[in-house]
Amino acid sequence: MDFNLSEEHEAVQFAARDFAQNVLSAGIIERDNDQKFDKALIKKMGDLGFLSMMVKPEYGGGGMDTISYVIAMEEISKVDASAAVIMSVNNSLVCWGIQAYGTDEQKEKYLTRLSSGDEIGAFCLSEPEAGSDATSQHTTAEDMGDHYLLNGTKNWITNGNSSGICLVIAQTHPEKGHKGINVLIVEKGSPGFTVGRKEDKMGIRASDTHTLMFTDVKVPKENRIGEDGFGFKFAMTVLNGGRIGIAAQALGIAAGAFELSLKYAQERKTFGKPISDHQAIQFKLAEMATRIEAARLLVYKAARLKDLGKDYIQAAAMAKLFASDVAMWVTTEAVQVHGGYGYVKEYHVERMMRDAKITQIYEGTSEIQKLVIARELLK
Domains of the chain from N-terminus onward: 7-120 (1.10.540.10), 122-232 (2.40.110.10), 233-377 (1.20.140.10)
In sequence order, the β-bridge partners of residue 185 are: 167
**Cα–Cα distance for residue pair 333/301, rounded to 1 Å:** 26
3-state SS string for the chain: CCCCCCHHHHHHHHHHHHHHHHHHCCCHHHHHHHCCCCHHHHHHHHHCCCCCCCCCHHHCCCCCCHHHHHHHHHHHHHHCHHHHHHHHHHHHHHHHHHHHHCCHHHHHHHHHHHHHCCCCEEEECCECCECCCCCCCCCEEEECCCEEEEEEEEEEEECCCCCCEEEEEEECCHHHHHHHEEEEEEECCCCCEEEEEECCCCCCCCCCEEEEEEEEEEEEHHHECCCCCCHHHHHHHHHHHHHHHHHHHHHHHHHHHHHHHHHHHHHCEECCEEHHHCHHHHHHHHHHHHHHHHHHHHHHHHHHHHHCCCCCHHHHHHHHHHHHHHHHHHHHHHHHHHHHHHHCHHHCHHHHHHHHHHHHCCCCCHHHHHHHHHHHHCC
Residue 310: what pLDDT? 97
Residue 123's closest CA among 134, 138, 133?
A: 134
175 is catalytic: no
Query: Dihedral sign, CA of 157, 159, 162, 166?
Result: negative
Series of mean pLDDT values for 10-residue runs along the chain (379 residues): 91 98 97 96 96 97 98 98 98 97 97 94 92 87 97 97 97 96 97 96 97 98 97 96 97 98 97 96 98 98 97 98 98 98 97 98 96 97
Catalytic choice (75, 127, 199, 363)? 363
Residue 3: what pLDDT? 83
Q: Which residues contact 77 (CB under 8 A, 6 or more apart)?
A: 84, 248, 249, 250, 251, 252, 253, 255, 256
**Cα–Cα distance for residue pair 324/81, rounded to 1 Å:** 13
Global pTM? 0.96
Cβ(292)–Cβ(326) below 8 Å: yes
Residue 132: what pLDDT? 78
In sequence order, the β-bridge partners of residue 141 are: 150
Torsion angles phi and psi, residue 374, rounded to 5: -60, -40
Residue 130: what pLDDT? 79
Q: Which residues contact 221 (CB under 8 A, 6 or more apart)?
A: 146, 147, 148
Residue 269: what pLDDT? 95
Residue 96: what pLDDT? 97
**Cα–Cα distance for residue pair 20/290, rounded to 1 Å:** 24
